[in-house]
Amino acid sequence: MDQEIVEYMEKFVWDVDAQTKFKQLMERIPPVMQGMAGNAVLKVVGRILEKEGKSEINEKVLVDAFFTATPFGFHGPMKADMVKLGINYTQYGHPQ
């Protein structure tokens, strides 16, 4: 994983399961796009935490951030990856 993303991740408090799933989702993104995608997702994570007054990244925050940061054309593969990782994104209000 890109060192810049690792350093940015350290700014947050993570639920262990959410952090593992973030890393697993990032591994499924083509290497050339990982840095840009990771930064985009983590910036959205920061905004969600601030808006909701939370301090810890849980699975819901992670899923919401991926759906917000990922261009719609890539939602299909992202959803498939989430399903493979056991993430039920529909429970957080995202369409199947």
Give me the domain span that covers residue 44. 3-86
Residue 39 lies in a domain: yes
Q: How many domains does the chain divide into?
A: 1
- Report pTM: 0.91
Q: Residue 71 — pLDDT band, cuts 50, 70, 90? A: very high
Q: What is the mean pLDDT of residues 50-65?
A: 95
Q: Residue 76 — pLDDT band, cuts 50, 70, 90? A: very high
Residue 12 lies in a domain: yes
**pLDDT tops 90 at residue 16:** yes
Q: How far apart are CA 55 and CA 53, in angstroms?
A: 7
Both tokens assigned to 79: 């959803």
Are residues 69 and 41 in contact, defined by beta-carbon separation less than 8 angstroms? yes
For residue 12, the model assigns a pLDDT of 84
Q: Lowest mean pLDDT: which of 4-13, 48-57, 80-89? A: 4-13
3-state SS class at 13: strand
**pLDDT tops 80 at residue 9:** no
